[in-house]
Amino acid sequence: MDIREAIDAVVSGNSLTMDDAAAVMRQIMQGEATPAQLGSFLTALRLKGESTEEIAGMATVMREFSLKVQVEGPLVDSVGTGGDGTNTFNISTGAALAAAGAGVRIAKHGNRAASGSCGTADVLEALGVRIELPPEGVERCINEGGIGFMFAQAFHPSMRHAGPVRREIGIRTVFNILGPLTNPAAAQRQLIGVAFPELGEKVAEVMRLLGSERSLVVHGAGGMDEIALDGDTSVWELRDGQVESWTFRPGDTGLPRWSVEDLRGGGPEANAAAMRRLLDGEGGPFRDAVLLNAAGVLLAAGAAATIPEGIQQAAQSIDSGAARQRLEALVELSNAE
**Distance from the Cα of residue 17 to its chain's centroid:** 25
Strands 189-193 and 147-151, sheet pairing: unpaired
Which amino acid is present at 298? Answer: L
Strands 242-248 and 189-193, sheet pairing: unpaired
Instruction: Give the global pTM.
Output: 0.95
- The rounded distance, in Å, linking the Cα atoms of 46 and 183 is 23
Task: Look at residue 110 and tell me whether its pLDDT is greater than 90.
Answer: yes
- The rounded distance, in Å, linking the Cα atoms of 225 and 219 is 5
Task: Look at residue 290 and tell me whether its pLDDT is greater than 70.
Answer: yes
In the chain, what are the domain boundaries? 3-65, 76-334
Q: Would you state the pLDDT for residue 214?
A: 97
Task: Look at residue 83 and tell me whether its pLDDT is greater than 80.
Answer: no
Interval 196-228: pLDDT, tens? 999 999 999 999 999 999 999 999 998 899 999
Mean pLDDT over 146-162 rounds to: 96
Region of 98 (left: φ > 0; alpha: ψ -120 to 50; beta: rest) is alpha
Q: Would you state the pLDDT for residue 82?
A: 76
Q: What is the DSSP string of 211-276?
A: T-SEEEEEEEGGGBSS--SSS-EEEEEEETTEEEEEEE-GGGTTPPP--TGGGB--SHHHHHHHHH
Burial of 13 (0-12, 13-18, 19+ CB in 10 A): exposed
Interval 57-82: pLDDT, tens? 999 999 999 999 999 999 999 998 87
Task: Look at residue 84 and tell me whether its pLDDT is greater than 70.
Answer: no
Task: Look at residue 337 and tell me whether its pLDDT is greater than 70.
Answer: no
Q: Would you state the pLDDT for residue 39?
A: 98
> What three-state secondary structure class fits 173?
coil
> What three-state secondary structure class fits 298?
helix
Task: Look at residue 236 and tell me whether its pLDDT is greater than 90.
Answer: yes
Task: Look at residue 291 and tell me whether its pLDDT is greater than 80.
Answer: yes
Which amino acid is present at 70? Answer: Q
Work out whether the CA dihedral 131, 107, 276, 258 comes out positive or negative. positive
Task: Look at residue 286 and tell me whether its pLDDT is greater than 80.
Answer: yes
Q: What is the mean pLDDT of the chain?
A: 96
| Of the candidates 175, 156, 180, 158, the residue with the CA atom closest to the CA atom of residue 41 | 175
Give 116's pLDDT tier (boundaries 50, 70, 90).
low
Q: Would you state the pLDDT for residue 76?
A: 98
Give 278's pLDDT tier (boundaries 50, 70, 90).
very high
Give 122's pLDDT tier (boundaries 50, 70, 90).
very high
17, 35, 39, 103 from 57: Cα distances, Å = 8, 21, 19, 33
Which range of 176-185, 218-227, 312-321 scores highest in mean pLDDT? It is 312-321
Mean pLDDT over 324-333 rounds to: 99
Q: Residue 110's beta-bridge partner residues?
A: 151
- CATH architecture classification, 76-334: 3-Layer(aba) Sandwich (3.40)
Query: Is 3-65 in CATH node 1.25.40.10?
Result: no
Task: Look at residue 87 and tell me whether its pLDDT is greater than 90.
Answer: no
- The rounded distance, in Å, linking the Cα atoms of 142 and 133 is 12
- Which position has the higher pLDDT, 37 or 117? 37
Q: Would you state the pLDDT for residue 69?
A: 98
- The rounded distance, in Å, linking the Cα atoms of 288 and 290 is 5
Task: Look at residue 117 and tell me whether its pLDDT is greater than 80.
Answer: no
List of residues 6+ apart from 154 with CB closer than 8 A: 67, 131, 132, 133
132, 172, 174, 176, 232 from 114: Cα distances, Å = 18, 11, 15, 10, 26
Strands (E), the chain: 76-80, 106-110, 147-151, 189-193, 214-220, 233-239, 242-248
Interval 26-53: pLDDT, tens? 999 999 999 999 999 999 999 999 999 9
DSSP assignment letter at 108 = E
